[in-house]
């Protein structure tokens, strides 16, 4: 058993899972926005990055780690809500290219502003968990307290979001506004407010992903989330953009696949692996692996 | 937003040919009076114009959103670069043809899974393609030169052209102007091709597929073939633009084709006007002189251009312009000009 844990296969499993939960969180955040407003938020990664940088600045003033996480999430939520109000709301009912273009523009602005304030070098937040790997009989197991924390935190957030949607009144209202806005409005749900809350929730979940990335040994730099966003999008699309479970499973799948390609071939080919998974998945089931079949005209 | 180009008075090919010829010759004359720096900038802008023409056709005319055209540019640039690196004596026109064809093939490969997708899915899928293509260039170092890239010097100013120049910097001026002229002529030629394509049978079919796919299918138009064609054409244009870009700079490197290039292309296209020919040219001109624009804004606002903010000013300006254009003038500069023109004509 102990030799199994230290095998290179298990190294890759652990590495892939650690990376995969980050993708899962981003994918989940994309699904929340997609469900509520049918917008694919191309600035999702950049918004999370920006919020985390604000938290990072606070830690420089002697604030503790958990406060920093909290600040990042709150800033992320405010940013998400404001984005929906200011940039997205005027575009409801417009062609689907309009919100895409606007969010791409927002992505460019956020990254340029972040680079001009905080420079392009990577920054880290020291998490209160050791990054030193465990050992078993003198050999490394590619798990550290930090990696376990990372996975537990991600799963905790996912369960929290699931519980919010399933068991609370707010969750019911959110689902109702996504499914049938008109009916929801007639039944007294403030649909517009729900859309804003959906964006806030999503941005908060995204911020957690960036915080985890910043807490790791490589840190976070302003364009770091570009690649994470692409992987997160692939994960969400493999799951069908509609299904939170699909997004989470997709994230883990992409994380593991990229880790194995990286280990057995080359890190430069890993992004292509994600694209190929997406292509294959879409060819088998264009509507996503985890969604119920919905026909589209033509 | 109503899509542009829904109706338009029918121009003949002759009129289009004459217009393009006139504009190209005018630009060639202008390059003679521009300083060498501006000539080089104009050459880059001409290459970008070709890419935007393709993007405008893909997004504006066929309604398929692509964020991956920097990837197609990279494919074309590497095809040209690898060829030119090994065959320095090969005629330039062959290099460009090769890049166009290879670019088109890459478009076909991306199109096969993509034409079944819509809107945001397609945008994300093409973005993922663009994100995957430059690391690939870093991987196959023996072919692509890896991180450092490839160098080649195939752009030689012909002797007869040098005769027009005299004085201290004759050869520098001549080289810069030859580069600009070559790029402008190619861009003019591609503009003419695209103008014809816009008004061809395929172009009209494309618009119908965009506006109403059910009606298009009832008319006997093959939807997936039409959508694939749009991708192949856009990718071929991007491939040519990318190769021109590489030949002008005499080098091709992975870092020349970052994801931000896709954003820049989108910004320029939207600023110029989605789905319009003139918009692509406007976008190319803005690209040419964006550095001047940025330094002007820096000096207006008193920002130190070597500071962090000054260095990132272009991203901020482009991003803000993209957002504002989409929110308040979604048809871009070309749309504004059209509105002013129809306003004037309705008065007279």
Which of A254, A275, A286 would you mutate first to test chain B, the one with the most B CBs within 10 A?
A275
Of A40, A111, A115, the CB nearest to B308: A115
Mutate to test the interface with B, among A93, A100, A241 (most CBs of B within 10 A): A100
Residue from B303, B273, B97, B315 nearest B190 by CA = B97
In a 3-state reduction of DSSP, which class is residue A271?
helix
Alpha carbon distance B126, A143 (integer Å):
35
Looking at the domain assignment, is residue B293 inside a domain? no
> Residue A194 and residue A174: Cα distance in Å, rounded?
6
Please identify which residue in the block is written with the tokens 């009989």: A137
**Residue B305 CB neighbour total at 10 angstroms:** 13
Task: Collect the ranges in chain B with pLDDT lower than 50.
Answer: 1-3, 5-9
Q: How many independent structural domains does chain A possess? A: 1
Q: Is B315 part of any domain? A: no
Q: Closest partner residue to B316 among A102, A112, A279, by Cβ?
A: A112
In a domain, A295, yes or no: no
Q: Domain for residue B85, yes or no? A: yes
- Residue A113 and residue B263: Cβ atoms within 8 Å? no
Range of the domain at B117: 13-287
CATH number for the domain including A37? 1.10.3470
Mutation for A interface: B255, B274, B323, B335, most A CBs within 10 A? B323
Whole-number mean pLDDT of chain A?
A: 86
Q: How many angstroms separate the CA atoms of A126 and A148, rounded?
A: 15
Using an 8 Å CB-CB cutoff, list chain A residues near B135. 267-272
The backbone torsions φ and ψ at residue A134, rounded to the nearest 5 degrees and listed phi first, read -65, 160
Q: Residue A286: what pLDDT?
A: 62
Structure tokens at A275: 């694209």
DSSP assignment of B232-297: HHHHHHHHHHHHHHHHHHTEE-GGGS-HHHHHHHHHHHHHH-TT-HHHHHHHHHHHHTHHHHHHHH
Surface-to-core class of residue A15, CB atoms within 10 Å of its CB (0-12 exposed, 13-18 middle, 19+ buried): buried
Q: How far, in Å, are A42, A233, B123, B302 from residue B114 at the CA level? A: 18, 15, 9, 46
- Name the closest residue on chain A to residue B308, using Cα atoms: A116
Closest-CA residue of chain B to A266: B139
Q: Which residue is listed with tokens 């630009």?
A: B27
Asked, for residue A290, whether it belongs to a domain, the answer is: no
By C-alpha distance, the chain A residue nearest B137 is: A268
Chain B residues touching residue A46 (CB < 8 angstroms): none
Q: Within the 267-286 window of chain A, which residues sit less than 8 Å (CB to CB) from chain B?
A: 267-272, 274-275, 278-279, 282-283, 286
Q: Which domain holds residue A152?
A: 2-284
Whether B240 contacts B80, CB under 8 Å: no
Asked whether residue B346 is domain-assigned, the answer is no
Residue B280 near residue B269, CB atoms below 8 Å: yes
Q: Which residues 209-228 of A have a C-beta within 8 angstroms of B?
A: 223, 226-227
Give CA–CA dist A166/B308, Å, rounded: 46
Cα–Cα distances (Å) from B22 to B18, B28, B34, B194, B283, in that order, read: 6, 10, 19, 17, 20
For residue B173, tell me if it sits in a domain: yes
- Determine contact: A23 vs chain B, CB below 8 A: no
The gap from C-alpha A11 to its chain's centroid, in whole angstroms, comes to 23
Mutation target to probe the B interface, by most B beta carbons within 10 A, among A40, A89, A104 is: A104
Structure tokens at B298: 């820096």
- Domain assignment present for A291: no
Identify which of B1, B124, B223 has the shortest CB distance to residue A94: B1
pLDDT value of residue A1: 53
Q: Domains in chain B: how many in total?
A: 1
pLDDT (tens, 9 = 90+) of chain A, 298 residues, equals 557 777 788 888 888 998 999 999 999 999 999 888 888 899 999 999 999 999 888 776 767 888 888 999 999 999 999 999 999 998 888 888 889 999 999 999 999 999 998 888 888 887 778 778 887 777 777 788 888 888 999 999 999 998 998 899 998 888 888 888 888 889 888 888 999 999 999 999 999 999 998 888 788 888 888 889 999 999 998 887 888 888 999 999 999 999 999 888 888 888 888 888 888 887 776 666 665 555 454 4
Contact yes or no for A269 and B314 at CB 8 A? no
Residue A278 tokens read as 């997406």
Report pLDDT for B7. Answer: 43
């Amino acid at each position: 058993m102990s030799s199994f844990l230290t095998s290179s296969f298990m190294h890759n499993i652990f590495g892939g899972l650690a990376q995969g939960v980050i993708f899962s969180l981003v994918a989940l955040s994309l699904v929340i926005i997609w469900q509520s407003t049918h917008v694919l938020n191309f600035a999702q990664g950049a918004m999370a990055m920006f919020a985390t940088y604000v938290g990072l600045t606070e830690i420089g003033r002697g604030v503790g780690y958990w406060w920093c996480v909290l600040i990042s999430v709150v800033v992320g939520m405010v940013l998400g809500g404001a984005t929906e109000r200011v940039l997205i709301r005027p575009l409801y009912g417009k062609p689907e290219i309009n919100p895409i273009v606007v969010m791409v523009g927002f992505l460019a602005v956020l990254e340029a502003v972040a680079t001009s304030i905080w420079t392009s070098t990577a920054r880290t937040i020291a998490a209160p968990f050791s990054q030193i790997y465990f050992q078993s009989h003198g050999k490394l197991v590619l798990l550290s307290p930090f990696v376990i924390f990372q996975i537990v935190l991600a799963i905790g957030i996912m369960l929290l979001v699931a519980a919010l949607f399933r068991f609370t009144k707010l969750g019911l209202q959110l689902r109702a506004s996504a499914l049938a806005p008109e009916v929801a409005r007639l039944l007294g749900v403030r649909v517009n407010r729900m859309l804003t809350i959906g964006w806030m929730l999503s941005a908060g979940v995204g911020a957690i992903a960036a915080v985890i990335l910043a807490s790791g040994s490589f840190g976070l730099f302003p364009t770091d989330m570009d690649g994470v966003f692409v992987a997160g999008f692939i994960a969400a699309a493999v799951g069908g953009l509609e299904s939170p479970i699909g997004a989470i499973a997709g994230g883990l799948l992409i994380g593991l696949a990229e880790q194995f390609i990286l280990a057995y071939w080359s890190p430069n080919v890993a992004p292509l692996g994600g694209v190929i998974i997406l292509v294959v998945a879409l060819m088998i089931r264009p509507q996503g692996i985890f969604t119920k079949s919905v026909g589209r005209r033509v | 937003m109503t899509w542009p180009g829904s109706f338009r008075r029918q121009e003949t090919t002759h009129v289009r040919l004459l217009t393009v010829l006139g504009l190209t010759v005018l630009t060639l004359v202008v390059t003679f009076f521009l300083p060498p720096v501006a000539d080089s900038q104009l050459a880059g802008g001409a290459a970008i114009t070709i890419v935007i023409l393709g993007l405008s056709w893909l997004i504006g005319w066929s309604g398929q959103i692509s964020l991956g055209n920097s990837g197609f540019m990279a494919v074309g640039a590497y095809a040209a670069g690898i060829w030119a690196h090994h065959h320095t004596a090969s005629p330039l026109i062959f290099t460009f043809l090769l890049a166009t064809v290879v670019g088109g093939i890459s478009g076909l490969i991306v199109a096969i899974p993509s034409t079944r997708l819509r809107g945001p899915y397609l945008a994300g899928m093409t973005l993922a393609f663009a994100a995957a293509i430059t690391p690939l260039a870093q991987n196959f170092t023996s072919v692509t030169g890896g991180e450092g890239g490839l160098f080649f010097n195939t752009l030689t100013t012909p002797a007869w052209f040098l005769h027009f120049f005299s004085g201290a910097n004759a050869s520098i001026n001549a080289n810069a102007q030859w580069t600009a002229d070559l790029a402008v002529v190619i861009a003019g030629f591609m503009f003419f091709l695209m103008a014809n394509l816009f008004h061809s049978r395929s172009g009209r079919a494309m618009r119908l597929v965009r506006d109403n796919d059910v009606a298009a299918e009832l008319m006997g138009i093959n939807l997936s073939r039409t959508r694939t064609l749009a991708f192949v054409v856009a990718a071929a244009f991007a491939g040519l633009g990318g190769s021109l870009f590489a030949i002008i700079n005499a080098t091709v490197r992975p870092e020349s084709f970052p994801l931000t290039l896709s954003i820049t292309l989108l910004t320029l296209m939207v600023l110029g006007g989605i789905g319009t020919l003139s918009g692509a040219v406007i976008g190319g001109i803005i690209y040419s002189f964006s550095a001047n624009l940025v330094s002007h804004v820096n000096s207006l606002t008193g920002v130190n251009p070597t500071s962090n903010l000054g260095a990132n000013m272009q991203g901020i300006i482009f991003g803000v312009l993209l957002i504002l254009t989409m929110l308040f003038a979604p048809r871009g500069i070309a749309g504004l000009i059209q509105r002013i023109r129809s306003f004037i004509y309705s008065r007279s």
